[in-house]
Amino acid sequence: MDKIIPLSVPNIKGNEIKYVEKALRDEWVSTAGSFITDFENNIAQYTKAKYAVACQSGTAGIHLSLLALNIKSDDEVIVPTLTFIAAVNPVKYIGASPIFMDCDDSLCLDPKKLRQFCENECTFKEDKLINRHTNKHIKAIIVVHIFGNMANMEEIMDIAYKYNLKVIEDATESLGTFYKEGKYVGKYAGTIGDIGIYSFNGNKIITTGGGGMVVSNNEYLAKKIKYLSTQAKDDETYFIHNEIGYNYRMTNLQAAVGLAQLEKLEEFIKTKEENYNLYNKNNIKLLKFNEKCRVNYWFYSYLTEKRDVLIKELQKMKIQTRPIWKLIHTLSPYKDCQSYKIEKANYYYDKVLNIPCSSNLSSQDVLYVCEKIKMIENS
Ligand SMILES: *Cc1c(COP(=O)(O)O)cnc(C)c1O
C-alpha cells in the first residue's frame, strides 16, 4: 500500500464549501454573522443545552469558563493528569494551582480517589473545601471525557455537590456522547456540570479548522462568557469596557464550516462505531467505553506491551499511530504541583496506543491495520 493511513483527519464532504462561499459572498467573514448564531443554536439544540457560545478554540473556552466561575489566583482546581495539556494550562493562565488526580479504567477522572482526596486530605468548612496541605480553597474540578468516553458523572457530580465544587466538563473530545440510562439519561457530555466545552480543532470529531463552543444551562455564566470573549464591551457606541476582556470569538467563516460539519456528525459517529467493532472482530481488542452511554467513538485505544515497537514499525508501513499523552504532573511546568496517588495513569500511559480512527477510514483500511498490528506483535 502506498497511501498513508492517518490517525485522525478531517472529513469535508458536505455543505462546507457552499456555506463558506456564502459567508464570503456576503462579506461576513469576521466575528459577527448569522453562521455563528446558527452554529450556536444548532449545537445547543443537538446537545439540549440552554445556551451555547462559540469561541476561538476549546482552550479559549476552558479559559473563559474558569474566568466566568470567578476562580482566582489563590484558588485550586482539581484536574486529571492523563489528558491533553490544554485541559490544564488555562488553570495556570489565571494563576491558580492544579491538583492532579488519577484515572480509572475509563481513562477519565477516578471518582473513588476524588472522594478519598476530599475526605482525607481536605477540610470542609463554611461551604468551602480547604486543602490541608496548602490551606487554599479548592473551587472547581475539570473533568475530561477522554477519547469520546463519558467520565463517571453520577459519582463526580455527587462529590461536587457535597463539597460545593464547580464542575467544568472538558468535552472537547466527546461531542455526541450521552447517557442512555441511569440518573442522567438523555444528558450529553458537557451539559451535566456547570459549564461544558467542545473543540473543533482539525483532529476532533467535527472541525472548523480551529474553534470551540462553551455550553451551559446557566444564563449568567453563558452571558459572562460571551461578554469576556468579545473584549468585555459594555457600550457598543462609546467603547466602554468595565473589565479585561479577550478576543476569543469564533469567526463567521469558521462557523460556516462548523454548521456543515454538524450536519454530518451522526454519520461520522456511525462510521466510527462500525470501524471500532470491525477492529474488535478482527482480534484487535480495543478499550471499552462507558456502557451506560451512547459514545462518539472518537479515538480507539489499543492496549499493548509493544507500544513503541508498534509505533515505529507501523510508521514504516505508513500507518499513523500515537501513544497517549505524557502525564501532565510529570511535565516541567507542572512537576512541582500536588498530585494524589497516581497509579492507573502510569499503567495506561505505558500501554495505550491510539490507532487509525478517522471518520473516512474504509473497512479495507481497518483490516489492513489489523493484519499489520498482528504481524508485528507476533514477530
Ligand atoms: C483538543 C483538546 C483541547 C483543546 O481544544 P483546542 O480547540 O485545540 O484548543 C482541550 N482538552 C482536550 C482533552 C483536548 O483533546
- pLDDT (tens digit, 9 = 90+) per residue, 30-59? 999 999 999 999 999 999 999 999 999 999
* Contact (Cβ atoms closer than 8 angstroms) between residue 43 and residue 214: no
347 alpha carbon to ligand 1 midpoint, in Å?
Answer: 23
Q: Are residues 221 and 247 in the same domain?
A: yes
Q: Residue 160: what residue type?
A: A
Residue 147: inside a domain: yes
pLDDT digits (tens, 9 = 90+) for 187-209: 999 999 999 999 999 999 999 99
Residues 369 and 243 occupy one common structural domain: no
Instruction: Establish whether residue 304 lines the binding site of ligand 1, counting it when its CB lies within 6 angstroms of any ligand atom.
Output: no
Q: Which atom of ligand 1 is nearest to the CA of 211?
A: 7
Whether 258 and 307 map to the same domain: the answer is: no
Interval between CA 135 and ligand 1 midpoint (Å): 31
The tally of domains found in the chain comes to 2
115 in any annotated domain: yes
Hey, whose CA ends up nearest to atom 8 of ligand 1?
201
Look at residue 157 in the predicted model and tell me its pLDDT: 98
- pTM (2 d.p.): 0.98
Tell me: do 201 and 329 sit in the same domain. no
How does residue 1 score in pLDDT terms, banded at 50, 70 and 90? low
Domain range for 193 is: 16-263
pLDDT, tens only, 316-359: 999 999 999 999 999 999 999 999 999 999 999 999 999 999 99
- Pair (239, 159) in one structural domain: yes
Ligand 1 neighbourhood includes 250 CB (under 6 angstroms) = no
pLDDT above 90 (res 274): yes
Place of cell 498482528: 374
Whether residues 295 and 252 share a domain: the answer is no
Query: Which domain-ending residue is among 263, 284, 302?
Result: 263
Give CA–CA dist 27/30, Å, rounded. Answer: 9
On whether both 164 and 37 belong to a single domain, the answer is yes
Q: Answer whether residue 362 is part of any domain.
A: yes
Pocket test for ligand 1, best of 56, 84, 146 (most atoms within 8 A of CB): 84
Q: Which of 214, 243, 263 is the last residue of a domain?
A: 263
Same domain, 220 and 316: no
Mean pLDDT over 303-310 rounds to: 97
Check residue 236 and give its pLDDT: 86
pLDDT at 354: 98
142 and 251 housed in the same domain: yes
Query: How many angstroms separate the CA atoms of 151 and 155, rounded?
Result: 9
Distance 168 CA to ligand 1 centre (A): 13
Nearest atom (ligand 1) to Cα of 173: 15
Q: Is residue 7 part of a domain?
A: no
**Do 269 and 258 fall into the same domain?**
no
The response to whether residue 83 sits with its C-beta less than 6 Å from ligand 1 reads: yes
State which of 242, 263, 284 marks the end of a domain.
Answer: 263
Which of 199, 200, 208 is the pocket-test mutation for ligand 1 (most atoms within 8 Å of CB)?
199
Q: Is residue 93 part of a domain?
A: yes
Question: Are 257 and 294 contained in the same domain?
Answer: no
pLDDT score for 51:
98
Q: Please identify, by atom number, the ligand 1 atom nearest to the C-alpha of residue 86.
A: 10
User: Tell me, what CATH number does 275's domain have?
Assistant: 3.90.1150.10
Q: Is 144 in the pocket of ligand 1 (CB under 6 A)?
A: yes
56 lines ligand 1 (CB under 6 A): no
Average pLDDT over residues 218-247: 96
336: in domain: yes
Q: Is residue 185 part of a domain?
A: yes
Write out the chain in H/E/C secondary structure.
Answer: CCCCECCCCCCCCCCHHHHHHHHHHCCCCCCCCHHHHHHHHHHHHHHCCCEEEEECCHHHHHHHHHHHCCCCCCCEEEEECCCCHHHCHHHHHCCCEEEEECECCCCCECHHHHHHHHHHHEEEECCEEEECCCCCEEEEEEEECHHHCCCCHHHHHHHHHHCCCEEEEECCCCCCCEECCCCCCCCECCCCCCEEEEECCCCCCCCCCCCEEEEECCHHHHHHHHHHHECCEEECCCCEECCCCCECECCHHHHHHHHHHHHHHHHHHHHHHHHHHHHHHCCCCECCCCCCEECCCCCEEEECCCHHHHHHHHHHCCECCEECCCCHHHCHHHCCCEECCCCHHHHHHHHEEEECCCCCCCHHHHHHHHHHHHHHHHC
Looking at ligand 1, which atom is closest to the CA of residue 199? 7
Would you state the pLDDT for residue 356?
Answer: 98
> Does any domain span residue 202?
yes
**Any idea what the CATH number is for the domain that residue 31 is in?**
3.40.640.10
Statement to judge: residues 289 and 369 lie in one domain: yes
Is 106 a pocket residue for ligand 1 (Cβ < 6 Å)?
no
- Does position 233 have pLDDT exceeding 80, yes or no? yes
